[in-house]
Amino acid sequence: MNEFVIPAIRDTASGTVDRVFPLERAERLKNEFARVFSHHLGCLESGSRFETESILVTGQSGSGKTKEIEELLKRFNASNIPLPTGQPARFAECILTGTQGWKDLGRNSMWAIGFPLDGKARLTQVEIWERVVTEAKLAGVVGIHYDEAQHIFRKKNDTDRLAILDSFKTLMKSHDWPLILIFSGVPELDGYLREEPQLYRLINRIKFNDISLPDDFDTVHEIVSSYALTSRLELDDKISTEDFYHRLVAAGAFRWGLIIKLTIGAIGMARVRNTGTLHVDHFIDAWVSKTQTNSAATPFTHSRFETIYRKDHPFVEALTG
């Protein structure tokens, strides 16, 4: 046995990493994506020039945006929908960072499509985006998902932000091969995209809302139960209570993605201890392991959990001493 491998943790990760709980928002996202793509496909089949639509998905960090979109695009790419060019349609994915300008954006878009651009190539903005469009058409790429898109706009001056926005607009309005864009990020991203009215009018917006209690108690219970069942664990009676689920939601800052991660962490602890049952103590252990908080001051144990763990600061207590 290798000293650096904990089999129970490894097996828990292996059994849950690809799992996506079917929240209502996933259906909304799929329906909107299907509508946008169907319109896009019809326009391609007509042979006429058109400008395509795009989708903006916003939500707090840890809300699960990336996971939902990745799962959607994975299914889309596997469906092999035929394009008028004879190729199967596919979507590319690109993560943005704050150090990128429009040239980096172009190069990273090329990498996402599958055609790396030489970093020494001296191309104008127009030439880079023409290359992106050409290679996308050759590869059957109908769109690109730009994840964490707010980062590319932060700390940029007006000129640089508008150059990036103009680049996105160019892709959507290409006469030869317009590309559907999916932008995902935190709520501030909406404000950046509004700065380019011609781009913004082509964007359809989907917001991933936080957990709302008491309305979502049943869904939280279903998440914990289903992940435990997948890992062949029973639920202790103390878990199946509104008090516990309220504490779990507070611990996850009311964000769906974070409560799922906390649940997976607790399941890992339960499997390490080989208990066969998921207990509140396993959530406490997972929290302490992550935050190094005293076990008496976790969201699962402290009487003032609602005030010391705030929605705007996941995993950071507001205790002052």
Partnered with residue 278 across adjacent β-strands are: 235
Residue that terminates a domain, selected from 207, 234, 253:
207
The residue whose two tokens read 């082509």 is: 202
The verdict on 167 and 265 lying in the same domain is no
What integer is the mean pLDDT of 133-161? 94
Instruction: Judge whether 176 lies within some domain.
Output: yes
> For a pLDDT cut of 90, what percent of the chain falls above it?
77
What is the reported pLDDT for 320?
41
Structural domain for 83, as ranges: 24-207
Residue type present at position 53: E
Shared domain check, 64 and 85: yes
In a domain, 124, yes or no: yes
Looking at residue 182, what is its pLDDT?
A: 98
**Are 198 and 52 part of one and the same domain?**
yes
Q: Does 98 or 44 have the greater pLDDT score?
A: 44
pLDDT greater than 90 at residue 78: yes
Query: Which of 190, 207, 224 is the endpoint of a domain?
Result: 207
Same domain, 150 and 230: no
For 271-306, write each residue's pLDDT tens digit. Answer: 999 999 999 999 999 999 998 888 988 999 998 888
In sign, the C-alpha dihedral spanning 214, 219, 220, 222 is positive
Tokens 């960090």 belong to residue: 61
Against a cut of 0.85, is the pTM above it? yes
Q: What percent of the chain has pLDDT over 70?
A: 97
Residue after which a domain boundary falls, among 178, 207, 236: 207
Q: What is the CATH number of the domain that holds 59?
A: 3.40.50.300
- Of the pLDDT bands very low, low, confident and very high (cuts 50, 70, 90), residue 18 is confident
Q: What's the rounded mean pLDDT across residues 86-99? A: 91
178-207 residue pLDDT tens: 999 999 999 999 999 999 999 999 999 999
Domain-located, residue 15: no
What is the count of structural domains for the chain?
A: 2
Place of tokens 């007509």: 46
